[in-house]
Structure 1
Amino acid sequence: MKIHIVLVALLSSSFLFAQNTITAKGKVLEQGTNYPLEYATVSFVDPAGKTVEGGITDMDGNFAIEIPAGTYTVKYEFISYKTIEKPNQNLQSNTTLPTVYLSLDSESLDEVVVRAETTEVQVRLDKKVYNIGKDLTTSGATVSDALNNVPSVTVDVEGAIALRGNENVRILINGKPSAIAGFGSTDALRQLPAEAIERVEVITSPSARYDAEGTAGILNIILKKEKTLGLNGSVQVNLGVPLSSGITGNINVRTDKFNIFNTTGIRYRESPGNALFETQYLNANASNPLVIEDRDYDRLNRGFNTNLGIEYFLTENSSITASGFLRLGDDEDLTTNLTSEFDAANALAVMRSRIETETEEDTSLQFSLNYVNNFSDDGHKLTIDLQAEDDRETETSLIDEFNTFPATALLPSEFITQKEDQNEYLVQADYVLPIGENAQFEAGYRGTFEKTTTDYLLTEQLETGGPFIRNDSLSNVFVYEENVNALYTQYGNKFGKFSFLLGLRLEDTQLIGNVTGEDITTNDDFDVNFDNSYTELFPTVNLVYELGERENVTLGYNRRINRPRGFFVNPFPSRSSEANVFQGNPSLRPAFANAFDLGYLKRWQKLTLTSSIYYQRETDAFERVSEDTGEVTSNGVPIIRTIPINLATNERYGFEAGILYNPAKWLRLNGSFNLFRFKTEGFFNGVDYGTVNNSWFARGSSKVTLPSKIDWQTTAFYRGPRNDAQSETEGILSINLAFSKDIMDENATIGFNVSDLFNSRKRITHTETDSFISDSEFQWRERQFNLTFTYRFNQKKQRQRGGRDNGDFEDDGDFGGS
């Protein structure tokens, strides 16, 4: 009987204890801007002054803390903000506390500025978010330049963007494919000012919400959109050497019912470059086995871009945003190629000059409509997006060639006109449903429908000074369509310190290619007309375990796809010189990859460490190979063709680490290191292209505040030697230097920076095949000096804290937090 009484007492006390444990929820925002304050501390203090329980806010400023029922003083704290205390809060049941707004502590304002001028990192279930602070080296630079300062990302001398050394990376703008980022090209990112970026999301383990495209992962560029009430904005003017100039204006009007925003920029930029190619032909039929090409590039880029949008708040929880983007480009490039040919006795046999004058006119127009309905504060949400884009590009190239040794003689010229028209439509819907305290369900649809028409016309002189005649064997119209319909669903939950997000994405893809031309019916190597369709499933798994409030471990798995772009499947060659051509491969199949990522994050008071180990296995991986076609130019030079092919497998694995360290108010340091190994296996035309590539890259940045509040920043980047199946490339070192000072009561800033201080950003490559050996040195753009002036009106000095825009797709509700 006594035993029964004891058991009943124990059960009753357990029941009463469970009944007396409640959950207190709420939100912490910044006063005036409504920015969510992540990592704000919320404490519950009993009448005796003892802190009973506490916690921190997530990326949305939300908190949910279990406490015993009782009466408390609730204390809200955040570094450099005034602490708020709410006494005598009688909490007897699950309660949602009123939203609390913290204001800046004027005595700590200097510390806030220090935090704001540092690149901050946030780790979420499927991404790392880098809030680009006041990076002086990118002042007056482009978006492409700014990306080169983001950990895990590299931008090579030609502007190709890679993630962890892999160039198959998907570029999104505000979570969606966009004309702003270019269509299968990153050229447009060189035309946009870096000042337009709010933050960059490095998504190495994308959740099911995102496109499965991009075996390396996704870079999501979030553009600025001011949230402050009233009229505010900024203007930046820059002038540089070699001659470059630009002006960018940003204006925002915000009321309780609508938000109008516009960013407009004009750019003029000269970008001189150079290259040297030395090719030794091993073919006994080559009349002159040694050919040296010395090239000079004089590029002139003129551009205009504007983005105008209005967000209208239908209700307190819903809004609709309409925006339009226009980009105009007018470029002129002059390439002078001096070719020297040497005979078997190494004596100069022929010298000729090839001058290519190229003009390019671009027009990109994009309209988008976004609807957001936040049904409740706990993340119940519906988002619908519609987007239409039109991109037109016209290139003309006049190629004049003449011998200068042993005698001067004018050679026949050729004139090339290429017109590319691209239309793309996007339809997307995402639905998020919270389930209970910690669980969340999500589902959505995305359809992208893209059509590209490339009209290539080659006319040439059959004899010097003669009329230009159409080359019917090369002139063609290539139409390429890519249609992708996708459905996805994902579910996430959190149990104590463990969180997970499981997803599955279904994508149905159709790739259609069609070539028309007067003399084009078949091709010996390819079927120039094709219609390929396939349906695939792409699972994703993302896990987080919190070792502490500022320490966690993440594990991610996802399956990805690399679809061949139009340039890679267009069967008709483009020529960088008469003897070097690139030809697409219509038989190229998509590549598939399985990727794993194990990450670790630790935050101290002044130091943040991020690190990860990753592995990826890709089948049917793309590889560019160069081979002797067996044909020669009219001057007897063998023609080398570069073509993309599917190799059997490509394994990639590596380690990366990043450190953000602020030891003092006057000194800020950050650095990152990435070591990787690629192993490729496969044969093509009987040749083994298997190779192992060990490489690494590192970057470091220091920022020092000098007397008179002058900021001095130095950024260094080194990319280690690397190799592929045929080539070895030497390491590249580049250093950027910048100075900045606030003037006019901190409403304006004047800055000066040097890009590539030692003029060392050059790609030096050695290539060996059975038919030729080649050495090359290429510099896309020479050292640049730049002076900038920025004026801000009705706008605080920019503080990056990773606030969210209603129209963005970067959040994952409760499962985006670390």
Structure 2
Amino acid sequence: MNFLKFSILFRNRLRIVPISFFICMIFFPYMNNIKLSLLSLFVFLTLSVSAQKLLVTGKVMEQESNKPLSFSTIRIFDLEDKLLNGNLSNELGEFSIEIPSLEFYLEVDYIGYQTIKTEVYRVAKDAKRFSVGELKMNLGSNSLDEVTVTAEKSQMEFTLDKRVFNVGKDLSSLGGNAADILVNIPSVTVDPDGAVKLRGSGNVRILIDGQPSGLVSFKGGAGLKQLQASMIDRVEVITNPSARYEAEGMAGIINIILKKDRKTGFNGSYEVVLGLPANYGLAANINYRQKKINFFVNYALSFTNTPSWASTFQNRTVGEELYILRQRDEGAVTGLNNNIRGGLDYFFNENSILTASYLFSRSDGGRTVDLVYEDFLGSLSNPTAVSTRSQVEDEIEPISEYVLNYKRTFEKEGHVLSAQFRFLDHWENSDQVFTENFFGVDGKTVLRRPSVQKSINDEFEKQYLFQLDYTQPFAKKGKFEAGVRSSFRDMVNDYEVTDEQENGTFVPLPEFVNYFVYDENIHAAYGILGNEGTKVSYQVGARLEWTDVQTELRDTKEVNPRNYMNLFPSAHLSYHLGKENSLQLSYSKRVRRPVYNDLSPFMTFRDSRNFFSGNPDLNPEFSDVVELGHLKYFEKASISSAIYYRNTVGLIDRIRTLNEVGFATTRPENLNSEKAIGGDITADFKPYKWWKMDWNLNVFNAKIDGSNIQEDYKAQTTTWFTRYNSRFTLKNGLDIQLRLNYDAPRLAAQGSRKAIAYADLAASKEILKGGGRLNLSVSDIFNSRISRYTNFGSGFVTDGESQGRLRQVNLTFNYKFNQDKKQ
């Protein structure tokens, strides 16, 4: 770099120093040296401003419907094919980009549409502004025999307020399920037990097609294993949502979008999966559109067998005595999963669309677990008892979801009215048998007759949801949004455990028999006002939510009503620095309400030494979230970065306690607070046409105060996780993808969790003249994705490790007809 280039770069970076200094002053009271280093890294990435000569404006539209295409990618090149600048179109399809040249051409990309390459424009020397007018895009080719130039769908797409992960481009997810997809998304982690975290927080709201789903009602993130990856189009991650979205979810929202196409004619895809451990699947996605009707259907059938293991080592001190427990679990979960989703769009005209859809999911599962307990007194050289316990479970879980949606667009761009009705009908039946045998210290001598229990667990859920949204544009680029939403949710759990008597009859255990009722009604209204300028854009809003929750244990007549109303403000301020370089400062207030599993007092009975239950007295937790995001595009790369601060009151966390005989109970409790500050960087880089890589790093510091439970339940931890992905596109349609993952150790209020490192590898080959693709993937190559933890409490320390899913190898065949080959 010569002196002149250095001087220009230094001068341009100085222009943003006042902004950076102001940011530092805001966050300084909360930062230690590590936090300051993180902020310094973020500020360095934002210091780039370019000269401005000509403002190029225009609008991207769909040819067939004449509707705007939001967030299209526009790049401007000079006559030597050098990138001058670029940006994304806004929600109205409009864009304005500053360039330092008067001779140029544009390239416009949008997922599923043919790339536009415009003519060369030559602008008068004294011009300061130039409009290219409307750029209209056609859908991708309807025939595989036609030769067209189409844009390859990127694996990740960035905007300031969300990230979009396109499932079809991730080779390692093919043949898997929705939980496997989330493992590969930047800033998202999924532990071996299926719990989903965003930026290190498990308080994340998971939606399917923008709404709650029965798949996550009872089992949380673990329920996503029932949804096959072949049905998913993309995943949106929204870290600081506006008032438009429900306030649930401290860390943000993960929105899983299912596949649906509106391409004219008949098109679709088929998929076959073979895997080890057993993973067999068939899937089809079909779409047909003719004039005013668009019909779509997705079907997936799979059978899986997922082995797992866990071990626990516990020291318990009572007076002068030391009691030791060594435990080993081995098990497997089998599942036959059926998912079918169908629907149709009826076009009254291109501005008025009615959509009806139906989703049916049924899982027929089985679980077997074998546990071994070894008890010692004083040391491992002094065994006192050995016992074994087995669990055999049969489970049926059908889910039905009905959706009716209407959307009306008016003459003025951005003027939209939409309404939705959704009904969810979900139930689950689980029958379990537990058998426990008791032996002497040799592990062979039978001490007494086996103990046999049976558990019957029936759960039912019905939910009605109504939503109305309205957007009214004003001025040139301003808009006002408003909406209302009502949700009525009723859940019931009929639970009973019986114990076998000497005469062979089964008698209910009183402490494990009850009928739990959960009624939840949430009503909300919101308003948002926003405007967009050449440099500065803003959006301010507020959401009012009224919550009415009541739980009831009918057999013991315990009723627990909860009613509260809360205001959730949000604000977003964006500043465009030029040269595909933008900043956004945002604030929102969020809530995590205790849900059904958090409140249900019934204990799991699989493990006779370790019980898990909910807490009917749990209160909601509230967070204030501030985030500063930065988005920068380069010719061959892009960087999305952010720093965030989250202050949580009433933090919900699971606490483990031991009774007088050493049996453990784990249930959620409200802790005093958690204060977290962190930084997040996601970057992609394409050094060559055949090599593309992306990298994500999240670093955060959390200070947890659980002294209201026990005085020493306090922890401060600085931890991080990172993910690196590299994809090579070789000759003859061969792709290879390598992904490396590392989740660093972290502390919690009641212990710690050790690091997790694992790697994934996949290869894909085009066949059948590009219409088909064969994919081989290996998840967790080294079988190292093992969770290790330590918990402590009054008089005990517990060390444990577990692996909920072992190395998985999948072979997937996919065939597309009448679709773009590179989607």
What is the TM-score normalised by the length of structure 1?
Answer: 0.86
Deviation at 1:641, TM superposition (A): 1.5
- 2:427 maps to 1:427: no
Alignment partner of 2:517: what SS?
A: strand
Structure 1 CA distance, aligned partners of 2:179 and 2:553? 33
Structure 2 CA distance, aligned partners of 1:354 and 1:663? 56
Do 1:29 and 1:61's aligned partners in 2 also have CA atoms closer than 8 Å? Answer: no
Do 2:521 and 2:547's aligned partners in 1 also have CA atoms closer than 8 Å? Answer: yes
- 2:323 maps to 1:289: yes
Which is further off, 700-709 or 236-245? 700-709
- 2:224 maps to 1:224: no
Structure 1 CA distance, aligned partners of 2:320 and 2:300? 54
- Alignment partner, residue 478 of structure 2: 439
Q: How does 1:365-376 map to 2 (within 5 A)?
A: 365-376=400-411
Task: Give the residue type in structure 2 aligned to 1:316.
Answer: E
Which of 35, 52, 63 is matched with 2:94 structurally? 63
Compared CA separation, residues 697 and 43, structure 1 to 2 (3 A): closer
Compared CA separation, residues 64 and 474, structure 1 to 2 (3 A): closer
Structure 1 CA distance, aligned partners of 2:710 and 2:187? 36
Task: Give the residue type in structure 1 aligned to 2:590.
Answer: R
- Alignment partner, residue 685 of structure 2: 661
Deviations 1:551-591 (A, max 9, x none): 10111100011100111112232234112112322111111
Structure 1 CA distance, aligned partners of 2:78 and 2:799? 69
Do 1:140 and 1:194's aligned partners in 2 also have CA atoms closer than 8 Å? Answer: yes
Task: Give the residue type in structure 2 aligned to 1:122.
Answer: F
- Alignment partner, residue 615 of structure 1: 645
What root-mean-square deviation, in Å, do the aligned CA atoms of Structure 1 and Structure 2 show?
3.2
Do 1:514 and 1:530's aligned partners in 2 also have CA atoms closer than 8 Å? Answer: yes
- Alignment partner, residue 293 of structure 2: 258
Deviation at 1:302, TM superposition (A): 1.0
Q: How does 1:116-127 map to 2 (within 5 A)?
A: 116=152, 118-124=154-160, 126-127=161-162
Deviations 1:429-486 (A, max 9, x none): 00000002111000000111111100001101244x6311012332000001111000
Structure 1 CA distance, aligned partners of 2:655 and 2:711? 10
Alignment partner of 1:189: what SS?
A: helix
Deviation at 1:285, TM superposition (A): 9.1
Deviation at 1:94, TM superposition (A): 13
- 2:338 maps to 1:304: yes
Structure 2 CA distance, aligned partners of 1:513 and 1:583? 15
Alignment partner of 2:73: what SS?
A: coil
- 2:609 maps to 1:598: no
Which of 481, 485, 488 is matched with 2:526 structurally? 488
Task: Give the residue type in structure 1 aligned to 2:768.
Answer: M
- 2:383 maps to 1:383: no
- Alignment partner, residue 756 of structure 1: 780
Which of 113, 137, 140 is matched with 1:101 structurally? 137
Structure 2 CA distance, aligned partners of 1:182 and 1:515? 20
Q: How does 1:742-753 map to 2 (within 5 A)?
A: 742-753=766-777
- Alignment partner, residue 498 of structure 1: 536
Task: Give the residue type in structure 2 aligned to 1:751.
Answer: N
Task: Give the residue type in structure 1 aligned to 2:666.
Answer: T
Alignment partner of 1:147: what SS?
A: helix
Task: Give the residue type in structure 2 aligned to 1:120.
Answer: M
Deviations 1:194-231 (A, max 9, x none): 23222221111101010001111111112221222100
Alignment partner of 1:474: what SS?
A: strand
How many residues are aligned here? 747
For structure 2, the residue ranges without an aligned partner over 5 or more in a row are 1-53
Structure 1 CA distance, aligned partners of 2:363 and 2:278? 17
Deviation at 1:690, TM superposition (A): 1.5
Compared CA separation, residues 82 and 639, structure 1 to 2 (3 A): closer
- Alignment partner, residue 595 of structure 2: 565
Task: Give the residue type in structure 1 aligned to 2:653.
Answer: E
Deviation at 1:608, TM superposition (A): 0.5
Compared CA separation, residues 87 and 95, structure 1 to 2 (3 A): closer
Do 1:81 and 1:103's aligned partners in 2 also have CA atoms closer than 8 Å? Answer: no
Alignment partner of 2:227: what SS?
A: coil
- 2:622 maps to 1:586: no
Structure 2 CA distance, aligned partners of 1:32 and 1:535? 42
- 2:97 maps to 1:27: no
Do 1:82 and 1:104's aligned partners in 2 also have CA atoms closer than 8 Å? Answer: no
- 2:710 maps to 1:672: no
Deviation at 1:344, TM superposition (A): 2.6
Structure 2 CA distance, aligned partners of 1:476 and 1:713? 51
Alignment partner of 2:482: what SS?
A: strand
Percent identical residues: 32
Compared CA separation, residues 436 and 304, structure 1 to 2 (3 A): same
Structure 2 CA distance, aligned partners of 1:432 and 1:723? 45
Structure 2 CA distance, aligned partners of 1:711 and 1:74? 34
Task: Give the residue type in structure 2 aligned to 1:487.
Answer: A
Structure 2 CA distance, aligned partners of 1:43 and 1:279? 65
Compared CA separation, residues 40 and 359, structure 1 to 2 (3 A): same
Alignment partner of 2:770: what SS?
A: coil
Alignment partner of 1:585: what SS?
A: coil
Compared CA separation, residues 77 and 719, structure 1 to 2 (3 A): closer
Deviations 1:764-788 (A, max 9, x none): 1122222211111100011111111
Structure 2 CA distance, aligned partners of 1:40 and 1:298? 50
Deviation at 1:181, TM superposition (A): 4.4
- Alignment partner, residue 269 of structure 2: 234
Task: Give the residue type in structure 2 aligned to 1:560.
Answer: R
Do 2:581 and 2:633's aligned partners in 1 also have CA atoms closer than 8 Å? Answer: yes
Deviations 1:725-775 (A, max 9, x none): 122111001111111100001000011111110000101112222221111
Do 2:167 and 2:173's aligned partners in 1 also have CA atoms closer than 8 Å? Answer: no
Which of 243, 257, 268 is matched with 1:208 structurally? 243
- 2:351 maps to 1:317: yes
Which of 529, 543, 547 is matched with 1:509 structurally? 547
Compared CA separation, residues 110 and 556, structure 1 to 2 (3 A): farther
Q: How does 1:89-238 map to 2 (within 5 A)?
A: 100-101=136-137, 116=152, 118-124=154-160, 126-183=161-218, 185-238=220-273
Deviations 1:67-102 (A, max 9, x none): 9xxxx999654379453449999x9x9999555336
Which is further off, 362-371 or 546-555? 546-555
Structure 1 CA distance, aligned partners of 2:261 and 2:96? 32
What is the TM-score normalised by the length of structure 2?
Answer: 0.85
- Alignment partner, residue 571 of structure 2: 541
Deviation at 1:58, TM superposition (A): 0.7
Alignment partner of 2:230: what SS?
A: helix
